[in-house]
Chain A
Amino acid sequence: NFMLTQPHSVSDSPGKTVTISCTRTTGGIGSNYVQWYQQRPGSAPTILMYEDYQRASGVPDRFSASIDYSSNSASLSISELDSEDEADYYCQSYDSSNRGVFGGGTKLTVL
């Protein structure tokens, strides 16, 4: 089965743009849709992006996602960083047997 590899942590200052990568270890990144979730401390995860780049209802357009087939990875970008964006971010996909796969998560720190 494949894994989704994320950086352990990223950080940047308020107002900047940060990008979190999610690299699929085997198989094509386009084989199954990628989703992104945000989890604030002490809370359940919430969906941000689905089907690679679709923004979930209520998610501000500061959040965007993309697929890079050359690096076999998905990316989540957050522009105009705000302190409220401090959270853990997870990418997720499915394998060919319909089993869910999560990335290890990335902790975003707003400096």
Chain B
Amino acid sequence: EVQLVESGGGLVQPGRSLRLSCIASGFTFEDYGMHWVRQTPGKGLEWVSGISWKSDIIVYADSVKGRFTISRDNAKKSLYLQMNSLRAEDTALYFCVRDMKRFLEWFDAFDIWGQGTMVSVSS
């Protein structure tokens, strides 16, 4: 079964850091671009960051650029999101998401979603 499982969320104070992880199973992780998408409770979806299968394309939303870092470890079939200088507005459910097609030089539709890990930033 193709699956993405996120972890690492929690309650953190403003200005602190948190690292999210996502473990993939059921597919060849290294072949696919991956993303983080977040959703504030009761609100819409916001794309956060994406990394290509070769890790040669890494992009961020303006709202997190300079504070968040996306990375991947293909040997561990894992995607990460290092979140620094957290703000209250970063409070959201963070989804790990897979590109639909393999070996792309760009990004694609999001065909596999994890169940998300909740990040709450509050003093």
| Complex-state Cα separation, A46 to B115, whole angstroms | 11
Q: Is the CB of B45 within 8 A of A98?
A: no
Residues of A2-61 contacting chain B, CB below 8 A: 33, 35, 37, 39, 44-47, 50-51, 56
Task: Say yes or no: is B44 at the interface (Cβ < 8 Å to chain A).
Answer: yes
Query: A45-B113, A47-B109, A50-B100 are contacts. A98–B47 as well, Cβ < 8 Å?
Result: no
Q: Is the CB of B47 within 8 A of A100?
A: yes
Q: SS class of chain B's interface: helix, strand, loop or mixed?
A: strand
Residues of A72-107 contacting chain B, CB below 8 A: 88, 90, 92, 94, 97-105
Contacts of A46 in B (CB 8 A): 113
Task: Say yes or no: is A70 at the interface (Cβ < 8 Å to chain B).
Answer: no
Number of residues from B at the complex interface, CB < 8 A: 24
| Complex-state Cα separation, A94 to B61, whole angstroms | 11
Q: Is the CB of B45 within 8 A of A102?
A: yes
Q: Is the CB of A98 within 8 A of B62?
A: no
Query: A1-B62, A90-B44 are contacts. A98–B57 as well, Cβ < 8 Å?
Result: yes
Query: A50-B100, A56-B111 are contacts. A98–B50 as well, Cβ < 8 Å?
Result: yes
Q: Is the CB of B109 within 8 A of A50?
A: yes
| Complex-state Cα separation, A46 to B45, whole angstroms | 12
Query: A98-B50, A99-B59 are contacts. A51–B109 as well, Cβ < 8 Å?
Result: yes
- Among A33, A94, A98, A104, which residue has its beta carbon within 8 angstroms of that of B44? A104
Q: Is the CB of A37 within 8 A of B110?
A: yes
User: Smallest CB-CB separation from A39: which chain B residue?
Assistant: B45
Task: Say yes or no: is B9 at the interface (Cβ < 8 Å to chain A).
Answer: no
A61 to chain B, nearest CB (A): 18
**Apart from A92-B47, A105-B45, what 18 extra A-B contacts exist at CB < 8 Å?**
A1-B62, A35-B109, A37-B45, A44-B95, A44-B116, A47-B100, A47-B109, A47-B110, A47-B111, A50-B111, A51-B109, A90-B44, A90-B45, A92-B45, A99-B59, A100-B47, A102-B37, A102-B46
A residues whose Cβ falls under 8 Å from a Cβ of B: 1, 33, 35, 37, 39, 44-47, 50-51, 56, 88, 90, 92, 94, 97-105
Ranked nearest first, the 8 interchain pairs of A and B with the lowest CB-CB distance are A100-B47, A50-B109, A44-B113, A105-B44, A35-B109, A102-B45, A104-B44, A98-B59
